[in-house]
Amino acid sequence: MPPVRIDVHAAGAPYLVLIGRGLIATLPELLRDHGLTGEAIVVSCPPVWMRHGKALKAIAGRAGPTLIPDGERAKTLATVSKIYDAMIRRRLTLVAFGGGVVGDVAGFAAATYLRGVALVQVPTTLLSQVDSAVGGKVGVNLPAGKNLIGSFHAPSLVVCDPDVLRTLPAREFRAGLYEVVKYGVIASRPLFDRVSTRLADILKQDGAILSDLIADCCRIKARVVELDEREAGPRRVLNFGHTVGHALEAITKYRRFRHGEAVAWGMLAATSLSAARGLLSADDEAKLQDLIRRMGPLPVVNDLSARAALEVIRRDKKVVSGTLHFVLAREIGATAIASDVDPGEIAAAMRRLGMKA
């Protein structure tokens, strides 16, 4: 089947998202077709390069890839500096070949080196294919919080190949699936229902089903990004579950949770808060709780402090001029952005998850 093509008409620069099985084998031709010729700098991590690097050897050239550590703790300025060193010595198309961390760090290097060079995102995890590779958000972490240093830098091309997901550990795959659920909650009840009813086939990584899920999520994100590329308003809906999720990652020093797992807990907190306000029905809250439970076990939170998480939330980049913009659920498929959520409400929601005071 021909790849799915999604045109993102972003204000900064339009770009194309391609989704199809076996696409990474055609990456050299795709780059040429889009005018991205010559030897590129390929940024990846050791596990991804070991499993899939053969397809990109021609692009990386004799110098080979620039490999960075795997995992959230690699999202630092020190890692970016390593990429800068490679960029000084070589040509200026940067290919990010890996999961969300590789895409964020390499993207930030591309955004800031010479005030911006061409970036191609080739995401290799479900989470990065459905979310982080599209939209142009790039950045790194500080000890005080996640993505506190960042920029917006639209890629020139995004290439999603569902076949590379077959090598993902089950836990990593599930972590990405929580982001698919997020898209269902914020924008598409049919997508949410499809995940719920076809969960067994999805967890078996049926290629056709995955291609459709990835395409649906990318279409939703493209639509949101076109409305609000730099998160001045409507794009905030994409942060559903992320306020508490980012805090959980930070207070555990990015060691306990995969990003999607933290977002799953964040979605549970957000729906609990929404239901407590009378905004979300008990039935819809129960449906989200049931789906997340059926997807598999999450790392525990009952030893974590809601107070510590609130301290991180106060420093979150979603706090603008002292106001936290918190994404609530009105129903499965629709959200509301509230600027009057009290810290006590958030703490109560986290305690209902089992966290300590």
Do residues 279 and 336 lie in contact, with contact meaning Cβ atoms separated by under 8 Å? yes
- What is the residue type of 86? A
From the list 72, 231, 261, 285, the catalytic residue is: 231
Q: Does residue 316 register a pLDDT over 80?
A: no
What is the CA angle 180-160-100, rounded to 5? 65
Residues 110 and 231 in one domain: no
Do 210 and 344 lie in a common domain? yes
Helices (H), the chain: 27-33, 46-52, 57-60, 77-89, 100-112, 126-127, 170-187, 189-197, 199-203, 207-227, 242-251, 259-276, 282-295, 306-314, 343-352
Residue 187 sits in the same domain as residue 151: no
171 contacts 258 by C-beta, under 8 angstroms: yes
Any domain includes 122:
yes
User: What's the CATH number where 123 sits?
Assistant: 3.40.50.1970
Predicted pLDDT at 161 = 96
Does this model's pTM top 0.95? My answer is no
Specify the amino acid at residue 76. T
258: CATH: 1.20.1090.10
Which of 221, 236, 258, 287 is labelled catalytic?
Answer: 221
For residue 64, give the 3-state DSSP assignment: coil
Q: Which of 286, 285, 280 is nearest to 330 (CA)?
A: 280
Query: Would you say residue 320 lies in a domain?
Result: yes
Q: Which of 242, 249, 258, 261 is catalytic?
A: 242
235 classed as catalytic: yes
Q: Answer with the one of 133, 167, 201 that is the final residue of a domain.
A: 167
20-58 pLDDT per residue, tens: 999 999 999 999 999 887 668 999 999 999 999 998 998
- Within a domain: residue 102? yes
| Active-site annotation holds for 221 | yes
Question: With left for phi above 0 and alpha for psi between -120 and 50, is residue 35 left, alpha or beta?
Answer: left
Q: Is the pLDDT of residue 219 over 70?
A: yes
Name the band, by pLDDT with cuts 50, 70 and 90, for residue 230: confident
Domain with 101, as residue range(s), is 4-167
Residues 93 and 49 in one domain: yes
Name the domain boundary from 167, 187, 207: 167
DSSP-derived 3-state class of residue 98: strand
Of 117, 135, 167, the residue that ends a domain is 167
Start-to-end CA distance of the chain, whole Å, equals: 53
Query: Catalytic one among 75, 174, 246, 258?
Result: 246
Asked if 21 and 162 sit in the same domain, the reply is yes
Q: Which tokens belong to 58?
A: 């021609």
Do residues 331 and 198 both lie within one domain? Answer: yes
Q: What is the pLDDT of residues 236-268, one digit of tens each?
A: 999 999 999 999 999 999 999 999 999 999 999
For residues 185 and 207, give the distance between their C-alpha atoms in angstroms, rounded to a whole number.
23
Out of 58-67, 152-161, 227-236, 240-249, least confident range: 227-236
Catalytic residue among 82, 174, 229, 239: 239
Say what the pLDDT of residue 321 is.
59
pLDDT at 189: 98
Q: Which of 146, 235, 236, 258 is catalytic?
A: 235
Residue 151: Cβ within 10 Å count: 14
Number of structural domains in the chain = 2
**Distance (Å, whole) CA 263 – CA 258:** 9
What's the CA gap between 113 and 6, in Å, rounded? Answer: 28
Is position 285 annotated as part of the catalytic site? Answer: no
pLDDT of 310 above 90: yes
232, HSE (Cβ side, Cα atoms, 13 Å):
5
Going by pLDDT thresholds of 50, 70 and 90, the confidence category of residue 144 is: confident
52 and 95 in contact (C-beta within 8 Å)? Answer: no
Same structural domain for residues 212 and 327?
yes
Residue 357 domain flag? no
Q: Are residues 163 and 203 in the same domain?
A: no
Which position among 52, 75, 82, 137 bears the catalytic label? 137
- Same domain (yes/no): 239, 347: yes
Residue 223, number of CB atoms within 10 A of its CB: 14
325 in a structural domain: yes
Integer Cα distance of 28 and 119 in angstroms: 14
- Cα–Cα dist 202/177, whole Å: 9
From the candidates 62, 89, 115, 302, give the one annotated as an active-site residue. Answer: 115
Task: State the SS3 of 2-51.
Answer: CCEEEEECCCCCCEEEEECCCHHHHHHHHHHHCCCCCCCEEEECHHHHHH
Say yes or no: 161 and 254 in one domain: no
259 is catalytic: yes
